[in-house]
Amino acid sequence: QKAFDVEAVRRDFPILSQQVNGKPLVYLDNGASAQKPTAVLDAMDRYYREMHSNVHRGAHTLGDRATTAFEGARETVRRFLNAASTREIIWTRGTTEAINLVANGLAPRLKAGDEILVSHMEHHANIVPWQMIAERTGAKVVPVQITPQGELDMDSFYSLLNERTRILAISHVSNVLGTINPVAELIKHAKARDIITLLDGAQAVPHFQPDMQALDCDFYVFSSHKLFGPTGIGVLYGKAALLEEMPPYQGGGEMIERVTFQRTTWNTLPYKFEAGTPAIAEAVGLAAALDYLDSLDRPAMESAENALMKRAEQLVETVPGMSIIGTAENKVPVMSFKIEGLHPSDIGTLLDQQGIAIRTGHHCAMPLMDFYGVPGTARASFAFYNTQSEVEQLFAALLKVQRLFA
Ligand code: PMP
């Protein structure tokens, strides 16, 4: 297998070659948002320079060009996910809006006493929308427990499945722990009981490509900005039959078939869920990001990423009092950690002074912080453009921080 040429890849990301606080930038906050390759910047620039207009309005050439680019982007996403049809690909503002859309759309199916199964490691985006729908319908949000290593407790999962369970909404990959959940197994058991399944793929897609037809989940959601695409757009994949059944999320232009003051009818999929002028340039940018990823040697990229995590795990013992939170067997290169006697936000600030960007805090996963009994963690999250040398710089900097406070 040929080695992954990380230096060549880094040249595709102009933002990476700058100094921050007088030091070369080491960007390890990819879980919060990833950087964009030139291919994405150029595609969006070209779109605005050469083809911008509103979509689906016809009547002139620019409108046709914009529509072709926009619908072409939808097809690129369909291919990325191996979804059966572009009717099943809905543009949203991101993961958060996609989950709110699904929760709202499934509300008519819910009644008092029904249960929505989530997990203890969910991002707030996959907890709060369900709580809001539960409030409206009398349903209940129930968390599957996790183990101290940060894996789903499968006994808890099996024991919570019952005749009241209607929905299973779970992260494919945890944003804090990096854990890759055993989604095939979860979906199999859910399907056997006619439970609707939603996977939050926000942290999965930057690392590997999920296959909708193989997974057979009912819904899959992700954000473009974590996948090297622009902010402001994300994707909801949904099975056509369920999307057909669900009421629209927002009303307005584009999502209708015919409007009268007596009665309005809905447009066909996917447009029924796309009220208003969409984020056209962003769709084009996301498609460019997917094409860019497609141009890389994915297996080599994944093994290079995993090597970053391995190196980090080796170096943990060089920093006194440091420990990793989230040591699942099967995980993406995300390292949440704590250092005895140090507050996560101090770690973040001191690393920033050395040009190293990480995230600190509760990571929008307060129930998970409660589980570990910490107010927050420090988190370094790696992307394929990070290097072994950057991992080593992180640990050298952590050692300096630790000594400063020891
Ligand atoms: N779910 C997970 C697992 C996430 O990591 C994030 C982003 N931190 C979200 C949902 C929310 O994504 P967004 O803010 O892009 O809507």
The answer as to CATH 3.40.50.1000 being correct for domain 6-30+297-405 is no
Nearest CA to ligand 1 atom 14: 96
Q: Is the distance from the beta carbon of residue 96 to the nearest atom of ligand 1 less than 6 Å?
A: yes
pTM: 0.98
Greatest CA span in the chain, whole angstroms?
A: 73
pLDDT tens for each residue of 298-338: 999 999 999 999 999 999 999 999 999 999 999 999 999 99
Q: Which residue among 95, 170, 203 has the greatest number of ligand 1 atoms within 8 angstroms of its CB, and so is best to mutate?
A: 95
The yes-or-no answer on residue 217 being catalytic is no
Token output for 107: 């509300």
The predicted pLDDT at position 1 comes to 47
Q: How many CB atoms lie within 10 A of CB 259?
A: 11
The predicted pLDDT at position 57 comes to 81
> With a cut of 70, which residues of the chain have pLDDT below it?
1-2
For residue 202, how far is its CA from the centre of ligand 1 (angstroms)?
6
107 close to 131: Cβ distance less than 8 angstroms? no
For residue 44, how far is its CA from the centre of ligand 1 (angstroms)?
23
The predicted pLDDT at position 3 comes to 74
Q: How many CB atoms lie within 10 A of CB 194?
A: 9
The predicted pLDDT at position 2 comes to 59
Domain with CATH 3.40.640.10 in the chain: 41-294
Average pLDDT, the chain: 97
Which of the residues 142, 256, 364, 374 is marked catalytic? Answer: 364
The predicted pLDDT at position 75 comes to 99
Cα torsion at 194, 238, 381, 371 (round to 10°)? -30
Nearest CA to ligand 1 atom 4: 202
CATH architecture of 41-294: 3-Layer(aba) Sandwich (3.40)
The predicted pLDDT at position 58 comes to 75
Alpha-carbon gap, residue 334 to 204, rounded angstroms: 11
ipTM exceeding 0.85?
yes
Q: Is 364 left (phi over 0), alpha (psi -120 to 50) or beta?
A: left
Domain with CATH 3.90.1150.10 in the chain: 6-30+297-405
CA atoms within 13 A on the CB side of 227: 32
